[in-house]
Amino acid sequence: MGKVVVAEATARQVASFVLGAAAALTVVMLVQYRAPAAGLSRARTPAHFSGLRSSSDDQHHRRNGTAARAVLHHPSPSIAGSAARDDDHRRRPANATTITKPSSTSTAAAALSHLPGTHRHEEKGAKEEPAEFRGLAAAVARAATDDRTVIITCVNQAWAAPGSLLDLFLESFRIGDGTARLLPHVLVVAMDPGAHARCLAVHQHCYHYTIPGINIDFAAHKYFLSKDYLELVWSKLKLQRRILELGYGFLFTDVDIVWLRDPFKHVTAYADMIVSSDVYFGDPDNLGNFPNTGFFHVKPNPRTIAMTKLWHGGRGKYPGANEQPVFNMMKKQMVAELGLRVQYLNPAYVGGFCSYGKDLGKIVTMHANCCVGIGNKIRDLKNVLGDWRNYTRMPPWERHRAKWTVPGACIRAEKQV
């Protein structure tokens, strides 16, 4: 009988132990099950996310909250990779997305569609650009260099016609020293449908610039300082400002300039704007030099964007003037008020008919300025290209003898005026 009582007591103790262990195990499992859910909830809370400071990656994700939330919520490598590509995609300027691969955009958009503030919403807003500049971002992105710089020139139908200035301009890139590789980065801005059609026939990158509310025939030849001419040149400045706002730098070149060497070798890291000069006093930093805004390079930054706004605003202060003398009259104000860093290009390298160096071993570009009449410009620029061909055919030890042909047609036209 005593043995039975002992056995029953032992059995009760074992049962109690088993039940207690089971209960404890249940509590542990419940705690472990609830902890990840609570942690995930905190990770998806914006206040918790913005407080992360553990690494440079965290700082990067704070700047790009949507992509960071996608990585936290979807640890799968494929989804995280899509979010990273989308993050890079979103840092591009508005409308530059039109040249990216559709698969990257669609994958990232699908992965992020359920999160607030997703790329799908941002992309829709990015495509809303002013009607005046519709398609410009995509055109610039296609032509730009890896460091987001584009070469721009503007033409109307008269300048783009066969045998006219556009043909000479493009030919100079093909025969210049080291300039052919720059040709794919030239964006020709056509001011009318005829010029656009002609551009598409002869060049890779063309953009038709339409100006809503302006009823002007840009196709015909424009006489210097005529009303239509002024509208044409001031419209170019608006387009240049838009390119800066998109985050691209540019080198603007008039189409009556031939390129014989690479001018980017003369663009300094210091200057916000570096401009050619009609009158040069030997010092690139001398604001007393006379600028020629038919050829200038501008970096994209707040100073240069403000500069183009101030410059364009000067049109009302100086009615009847084109953009070049207005810039000359406002340049000191821009430097003083905006901190703009301006430098000038030496005409020995970046020359024109107003002033150019005699050494063909140095010349980079030649501008048919100080010349009236498109026919006169064409004749004298053809002579420039002829002189260049003769120079390049000479043996190196003879090239110092090469000389320019005097731009006679332009000189005669100047005397008549």
Could you tell me the CA-to-CA distances from 95 to 56, 137, 149, 158, 219 in Å, in that order? 29, 5, 16, 31, 28
Q: Check residue 174 and give its pLDDT.
A: 98
Question: Which domains, and CATH codes, for the chain?
Answer: 49-128 (no CATH), 132-409 (3.90.550.10)
Q: Check residue 323 and give its pLDDT.
A: 85
Q: Check residue 60 and give its pLDDT.
A: 39
Which residues, other chains included, contact 265 with Cβ-Cβ below 8 Å and sequence gap of 6+? 364
pLDDT at 178 over 50: yes
Write down the pTM of the prediction. Answer: 0.68
pLDDT at 104 over 80: no
Maximum Cα–Cα distance across the chain? 142
DSSP string, 328-344: HHHHHHHHHHH---EEE
Q: Check residue 229 and give its pLDDT.
A: 65
Q: State the Cα–Cα distance between residues 279 and 129, nearest whole angstrom.
A: 39
Q: State the Cα–Cα distance between residues 171 and 156, nearest whole angstrom.
A: 18
DSSP state of 319: T
| Greater model confidence, 414 or 381 | 381
Q: Measuring CA to CA, which residue among 401, 408, 294 is closest to residue 347?
A: 294
Structure tokens at 202: 């002869």
Whether residue 252 contacts residue 235, with contact meaning beta carbons closer than 8 Å, is answered with: no
Poorest-pLDDT segment among 1-15, 85-99, 239-253, 362-376? 85-99
In the sheet that holds 186-190, the strands lie side by side as: 206-208, 186-190, 149-155, 249-253, 290-298, 273-279, 342-344
For residue range 299-313, list pLDDT tens digits in order: 999 999 999 999 988
Q: State the Cα–Cα distance between residues 205 and 101, nearest whole angstrom.
A: 19
Mean pLDDT of the chain: 75
Q: Measuring CA to CA, which residue among 348, 370, 358, 381 is closest to residue 292?
A: 370
Hey, which of 23-27, 200-204, 265-269, 278-282 has the most confident mean pLDDT? 200-204
For residue range 218-273, list pLDDT tens digits in order: 555 545 445 666 777 778 888 999 999 999 999 999 999 999 999 999 999 999 99
